[in-house]
Structure 1
Amino acid sequence: MSEKTKIISKILSLYLITSALFLSYFSINDYKMAKEALISNEVKNLKEIKMGIYMKASMNGINSAAALMQEKQVSACIVSKDGKIIYQDTECLQDTKKNVAFLKDGKVVIYEALQSMESNATGELSTANILLEGRDIRSDLNLLKLKILGNLLLILTIIMVIAYYLAKLSLEPLHAKINALNRFIKDSTHEINTPLSIIMMSIETTDKSTLSSKNLKRLNNIELAARSLSNIYEDLTYLSFSKSDAIKKEQINLKNLFNERLEYFAPFFAKRSIIPQINLSEASINANLYEVRRMIDNLISNAIKYSNIGGFVSINLSKNEFAITNSGEGISKEQQKKIYDRYTRFNNDQGGFGIGLNLVKRVCESNDLNIICESEIDQNTTFKVSWS
């Protein structure tokens, strides 16, 4: 997945989650209101049926009312004022408060006086209470849920499509600049190669025995600068042109490789008055030699660069792990979350492009290695790389 796709995916995910939460809140309220309206309509129908039951029972007896209830597909329990059950084809809930409506097993139920128009009536039916149970509305409620859920998904889909094109449109200028920067780095990397090779060759072929101590020091400084530039060139070449899916892996003797790289960095240690503390045991790893060399070079270079003058750098190699520690300002916990991001730098005094640790992380992922950083502000910094 490209960096552009990752960014758009993150934006869309955040936008979709917030939109879903926002719309869910209104959908739930919409469902509650629709549910209440459905129940209210059922209660209204039951009240109309209740009046019909009273009229039928008063004029033609309770059996005619039973026929009406069967026709309307409702059940009832009619209880007289003194608690006598006049009619029952459903459970009587005599402890229920009067003038209430509620759901029972998905059915709307009302419990109230059988008639409320004649307040002075004294007949058994006139003073009786009725518990009237209507139809099962669970299927209606499920249909209501599906309808609201469908509307929610439709709206979210429309929002996601609009958000995708808005995010893509708004990020286009940024990605154009990033692509221009990457093209510049690739072009610059290509142009650096020839003059850098000439400088390094000239330094190696210079007869140092004929130079004065002052000029020799100057030449050493030029060599250090050329080596630093060579490291940057190698890093840029790897990041810009390497294809991790086509790397060749081999068995690497890490002890020999560390000794080789420590010899290469010896002038850098001397420049900052650092005597490295070296503890190398025999260890090997199956990985890409070029990539592992780039990783080690970056970790040693950073340890030297960010160590205080006259400080210390320790390198410890064991069978399944190596650790590189340096003194210095340390790295905060907050900064450690971002140290592997490309172009991220927290110390402007030391220069650089902020690509070294990004390269290290990429090498670790490519070769199945684990890397952790242990550090705090004003404490030592340790990078540990392990493998199984």
Structure 2
Amino acid sequence: MFRSFTIALASLYVTTTGVLIAGIYYVHQVLGVEQWGIIALVSLLITLVVGGVLAKIAITPLREHFIHLERFSKETLHELNLPINTITANVGMLRKTHDDEKSLKRLERIEGAAEMLKERYNELDYLIKKQTEREKIESFDLRELIEERLGFLRSLYPTAQWQFNIEPFSAKCDRIGLGKVIDNLVENGVKYSPQTAHITIELHDKTLSICDHGSGMDEITLMRIYDRYFQNDTTMPGYGIGLSLVKRYCDRHHIQLNVASRVGEGTCVKLEFK
């Protein structure tokens, strides 16, 4: 596909250059025009017309390829949602009929794997929508968004302890993307807490703070946390793309991102809104 596109671009360049030279020769030699300003103008117009036509011909296959890829990605993502929900629903039913420890552990592993798939599904869903649609910038109450995400996250992590102090604040950015950012930061806090997770969420003076009391990170690790696919603990589930996505979102919406952490004491992430 891309080899054909490269050949098409090379052909476009050679053809356009040839048309330009031929146009100059025709106007100067055949028509006998001596004014080089007129020659340059006519040659430029001919080149623009021919180049535009050839560019359209060359780019059409690439556009069709991306349209097909976009359609395939959306259809595949939609079809993934059904088996994930089926697995989750059946695990819930099996829990009602199996109460021995061995079976419950197996169901727990299946449930954990389904949650990982759902997490990847949500990230891919957001990424595809962000690439194919323009982000919707809107004004909203950040407190309402945090409470909405907490309602989901608290059901997902029932053993975690929560402490929050949230003030009203009107934010203006991509609401869906910010919800993904909050989910990611909270999930990191839960994931890297050795036992019962203790998550503190505060919204004060245009600053959102999400802190945990988990394992924390040293200074060397802090320098690499935004690297794509980097994981501080490779035994944890995930692919190491979470904070990379968070950083890109914050940069895109001019949100100051600060991370403070100490080994054995936990990590605190602050989002400072303009």
Asked whether 1:248 is paired with 2:133, we answer no
- Over residues 114-151 of structure 1, what are the superposed CA-to-partner deviations in whole Å (9 max), with x where a residue is unaligned? xxxxxxxxxxxxxxxxxxxxxxxxxxxxxxxxxxxxxx
Gaps of 5+ in 2: 1-71
Q: 1:198 aligns with which of 72, 76, 83?
A: 83
Structure of higher CA gyration radius: 1
Distance 2:227 2:91 in 1: 40
Matches within 5 A, 1:1-388: 191=76, 193-200=78-85, 203=88, 211-212=96-97, 214=99, 222=110, 225-239=113-127, 242-243=130-131, 246-270=134-158, 273-388=159-274
C-alpha contact (below 8 Å) 1:250/1:288 kept by paired residues: yes
Describe the shift of the 1:338–1:256 C-alpha distance in structure 2 as closer, same or farther (beyond 3 A). same
Describe the shift of the 1:205–1:355 C-alpha distance in structure 2 as closer, same or farther (beyond 3 A). same
**If the length of structure 1 is used for normalisation, what is the TM-score?**
0.45
Shift of 1:295: 0.6
C-alpha contact (below 8 Å) 2:95/2:104 kept by paired residues: no
Shift of 1:212: 3.5
AA aligned to 1:256 is E
Q: How many residues align?
A: 202
Deviates more, 1:190-199 or 1:341-350: 190-199
C-alpha contact (below 8 Å) 2:84/2:118 kept by paired residues: no
Shift of 1:344: 1.2
1:12 aligns to what? none
RCO higher in 1 or 2 (8 Å CA, sep ≥ 6)? Answer: 2
Shift of 1:196: 3.0
Distance 1:189 1:342 in 2: 24
AA aligned to 1:383 is V
Describe the shift of the 1:217–1:278 C-alpha distance in structure 2 as closer, same or farther (beyond 3 A). farther
1:161 aligns to what? none
Gaps of 5+ in 1: 1-186
Shift of 1:304: 0.7
Describe the shift of the 1:239–1:343 C-alpha distance in structure 2 as closer, same or farther (beyond 3 A). farther
Describe the shift of the 1:255–1:190 C-alpha distance in structure 2 as closer, same or farther (beyond 3 A). same
C-alpha contact (below 8 Å) 2:181/2:246 kept by paired residues: yes
Describe the shift of the 1:207–1:317 C-alpha distance in structure 2 as closer, same or farther (beyond 3 A). same
C-alpha contact (below 8 Å) 1:268/1:304 kept by paired residues: no
1:68 aligns to what? none
SS in 2 for 1:286: strand
C-alpha contact (below 8 Å) 1:373/1:382 kept by paired residues: yes
C-alpha contact (below 8 Å) 2:256/2:272 kept by paired residues: yes
Shift of 1:244: 9.4
Same amino acid, percent of matched pairs: 28
C-alpha contact (below 8 Å) 1:203/1:219 kept by paired residues: no
